[in-house]
Amino acid sequence: MELKEFMYELPRLLVAAVPAAERAGARLMILDRKNGGIRHSGFAAVGEFLHAGDLLVLNDTRVFPARLRGLKGSGGQAELLLVEPFPHWPNLWITLIESAKKPKVGTRIAFAGGGEAEIIGDMQHGRYGVKFNCAGDFNEWLEKSGETPLPPYVESQRLGREFDRERYQTVYARASGAVAAPTAGFHFTPELLECLRCRGIETAFLTLHVGPGTFQPVRDEKVENHRMDGEWYSLSADTAEKINRTKARGGRIVAVGSTSTRTLEWIAERKGRIEADSGIARLFIVPGFSFRVVDGLITNFHLPGSTPLVMVAAFAGLEFTRRAYDEAIRENYRFYSYGDAMLIL
């Protein structure tokens, strides 16, 4: 398929630069794949469109303060994004670095709050091996020195650093390790989750540490040629049992977000069924993909030419997705990470 099929024009005013006042206050578009119908509601009413016996599968990854800003020995500025720690090597990370000039191995970067980094290896494609040196515990230092790596269209200065750290997380975030949030889960509150449980709608959790590759645009004109970066995931025996039990009794598996969807379908592709598993997921879902696990999807409205948008088109159908996005623009839905939501059944 050609990349241009997944492009659209979005009025700038519809980009959600700040979150809604209340998490569950977002709007909700409901897509019915059986009859092609589109309905409109509020996210707080999402339970009205689900059935007792359905299972929501949510990604409980937690965004850590992965962005650091410092000065090189030359005086030039450098921005670092911590992607993944090297196993068994304390304070050594795979890191993306932005600076005016291409960083060199041996370059040292100092941070205002103390501590420094040294580039010890060039891993190509903008990634470097970086060794951090700081006084005391590294994770405590990172909490003080790092920033939440927000998308570029979010107006962080209007909100404040502490607000970002709380609001750019799901309320059920637990396992630290993501550089971006699984944003479809932003709309849930503890009260809404409890309301769903009272309706007989269960929840289960998996972990996929969202990396920068999830939000990298598709750059190849032939969409199928795009390759996803690997992301670490884990699915417990308890969650696997809930999923298999739900399927056996005829309930629906409703994935919350593209990350939950990719994790479930990756495991099913490899194992032939859902079972406890962990490792690195690399699945890129494109139209024509056969979904083995997911029966429903909760997702936000995604950037043009992005891998989550391609995945939505695979699940809902390309023409239906285009029609839904056209209607969302006409109806002034809010787009992207802090925007409104879509339920596809």
Residue 127 has pLDDT above 70, yes or no: yes
**Which of 78, 111, 145 is at the close of a domain?**
145
Do 322 and 186 share a structural domain? yes
Instruction: Specify if 305 maps to a domain.
Output: yes
Q: What region does 136 belong to: left with phi over 0, alpha with psi -120 to 50, or beta?
A: left
Arithmetic mean of pLDDT over the chain: 95
Do 287 and 204 share a structural domain? yes
Q: What is the pTM of this model?
A: 0.94
Do 204 and 127 share a structural domain? no
Per-residue pLDDT tens digits for 183-229: 999 999 999 999 999 999 999 999 999 998 777 789 899 999 999 98
What is the residue range of 87's domain? 67-145
Residue 159 has pLDDT above 80, yes or no: no
The domain spanning residue 124 has which CATH number? 2.40.10.240
The predicted structure's pLDDT at residue 57: 99
Residue type, 120: I
Per-residue pLDDT tens digits for 16-25: 999 999 999 9
Do 140 and 104 share a structural domain? yes
Do 201 and 329 share a structural domain? yes
Q: What's the length of the chain?
A: 345
The predicted structure's pLDDT at residue 213: 78
Do 72 and 59 share a structural domain? no
Of residues 163 and 291, more confidence is placed in 291
Do 285 and 226 share a structural domain? yes
Do 324 and 275 share a structural domain? yes
Strand, coil or helix: what is 98?
A: strand
Do 305 and 267 share a structural domain? yes
The predicted structure's pLDDT at residue 152: 86
Percent of the chain with pLDDT over 90: 88
Please count the structural domains in the chain: 2
State how far the Cα of 224 lies from the Cα of 116, in Å rounded to an integer. Answer: 41
Do 242 and 206 share a structural domain? yes
Q: What is the average pLDDT across 153-160?
A: 70
The predicted structure's pLDDT at residue 126: 83
Q: What is the average pLDDT across 336-345?
A: 97
Residue type, 266: W
The domain spanning residue 214 has which CATH number? 3.40.1780.10
**Which of 145, 177, 194 is at the close of a domain?**
145
Instruction: Specify if 105 maps to a domain.
Output: yes
In the β-sheet with 37-42, what is the strand arrangement from edge to edge? Answer: 37-42, 27-32, 341-344, 296-300, 253-256, 55-59, 202-208, 231-235, 277-281
Do 303 and 227 share a structural domain? yes
Per-residue pLDDT tens digits for 258-308: 999 999 999 999 999 999 999 999 999 999 999 999 999 999 999 999 999
- Cβ-proximal residues to 182 (8 Å cutoff; 6+ apart), any chain: 58, 59, 61, 170, 208, 210, 256, 257, 259, 260
Which band of pLDDT confidence, cut at 50, 70 and 90, is reported for residue 160? Answer: low
- Nearest residue to 130 via CA among 105, 99, 102, 101: 105
Do 54 and 87 share a structural domain? no
